[in-house]
């Protein structure tokens, strides 16, 4: 399998590291990493962490035999770019670090990225183009809908449900059965004790609403 990474920022470089760690594992299927694609024209023709930056995102069309991972951390940007890539015919794959601890019943959908040292207990379901960062703990029966992003160290208790495009900050804690609305944002270190409305931004212990996304930022 050939792979292209979309995005050359921190998440793109972390995704490269995940794929390289997979290459060291005999149990992981072999993959040929073709390089990065980005619309930052100043990076075209350069290398990042030893990996070539081949051209703009539209170059997916020049590699119809490659599978694609969209490694853009911000969910709103990721939704937009995945829609453009899908219209160009892109086929998406996953980047799951070999250190993942999970049960055989875990579901991880196409396009998702699972960073090192993530733990999922039983019956965890992860949608498409989700990013789960380092040291995240997902307890039993958690559901992450498409395009969710979770920063390092977050802890989700049982039956937590995170709707499409929501973003969880570093080291936040979500109590059991909490539902996070579509496009909401949870601040770093927050302890979320109540459901969070769509497009709300909350922070603190216990978490309180700071403001809401508005205009074009509403999902």
Ligand X SMILES: CC(C)(COP(=O)(O)OP(=O)(O)OC[C@H]1O[C@@H](n2cnc3c(N)ncnc32)[C@H](O)[C@@H]1OP(=O)(O)O)[C@@H](O)C(=O)NCCC(=O)NCCS
Is residue 114 a contact residue for ligand X (CB under 6 A)? no
Whole-number Cα distances in Å, 101 to 44, 60, 106, 118, 122: 37, 32, 10, 6, 10
Q: How far, in Å, CA of 88 to CA of 119, rounded?
A: 34
Beta carbon of residue 56, minimum distance to ligand X (angstroms, whole number): 25
Is residue 185 a contact residue for ligand X (CB under 6 A)? yes
Is residue 169 a contact residue for ligand X (CB under 6 A)? yes
Stretch that binds ligand X, among 41-49, 74-82, 123-131, 186-194 (CB under 6 A): 186-194
Q: Is 140 known to be catalytic?
A: yes
Whole-number Cα distances in Å, 145 to 29, 108, 166, 217: 26, 11, 9, 18
Stretch that binds ligand X, among 14-22, 103-111, 120-128, 180-188 (CB under 6 A): 180-188
Site string for ligand X, 127-166 (x = CB under 6 A): ------x-----------------x---------------
Is residue 113 a contact residue for ligand X (CB under 6 A)? no
Is residue 203 a contact residue for ligand X (CB under 6 A)? yes
Tokens 């703990």 sit on residue? 137
Stretch that binds ligand X, among 49-57, 75-83, 119-127, 184-192 (CB under 6 A): 184-192
Residues in the chain: 219
Task: Considering only residues 36 through 95, tell me which ones interact with ligand X, judged by CB under 6 A.
Answer: none
Beta carbon of residue 154, minimum distance to ligand X (angstroms, whole number): 9
Is residue 3 a contact residue for ligand X (CB under 6 A)? no
Helix, strand or coil for residue 52? strand
What is the end-to-end Cα distance of the chain in Å, rounded?
34
Please state whether beta strands 107-108 and 208-212 pair in parallel, antiparallel, or not at all (unpaired): unpaired
Beta carbon of residue 40, minimum distance to ligand X (angstroms, whole number): 20
Size of the site for ligand X (CB under 6 A): 13
Helix, strand or coil for residue 105? coil
Whole-number Cα distances in Å, 205 to 149, 191, 196: 21, 5, 14
Q: How far, in Å, CA of 52 to CA of 161, rounded?
A: 38
Question: Which residues contribute to the site for ligand X (CB under 6 A)?
Answer: 133, 151, 169-170, 185, 187-189, 201, 203-204, 210-211
């Amino acid at each position: 399998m050939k792979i292209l990474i979309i995005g050359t920022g921190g998440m793109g470089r972390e995704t490269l590291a995940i794929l390289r760690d997979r290459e060291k594992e005999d149990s992981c299927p072999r993959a040929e990493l073709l390089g990065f694609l980005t619309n930052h024209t100043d990076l075209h023709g350069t290398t990042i962490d030893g990996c070539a930056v081949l051209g703009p995102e539209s170059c997916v069309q020049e590699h119809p035999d490659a599978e694609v991972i969209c490694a853009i951390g911000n969910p709103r940007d990721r939704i937009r770019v995945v829609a453009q890539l899908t219209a160009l015919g892109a086929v998406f794959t996953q980047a799951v670090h070999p250190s993942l601890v999970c049960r055989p019943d875990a579901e991880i959908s196409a396009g998702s990225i699972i960073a090192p040292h993530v733990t999922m207990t039983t019956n965890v379901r992860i949608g498409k183009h989700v990013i789960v960062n380092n040291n995240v703990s997902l307890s039993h029966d958690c559901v992450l809908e498409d395009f969710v992003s979770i920063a390092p160290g977050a802890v989700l208790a049982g039956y937590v449900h995170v709707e499409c495009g929501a973003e969880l900050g570093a080291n936040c804690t979500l109590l059991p059965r909490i539902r996070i609305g579509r496009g909401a944002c949870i601040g770093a270190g927050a302890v979320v004790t109540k459901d969070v409305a769509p497009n709300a931004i909350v922070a603190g212990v216990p978490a309180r609403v700071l403001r809401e996304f508005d205009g074009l930022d509403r999902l």
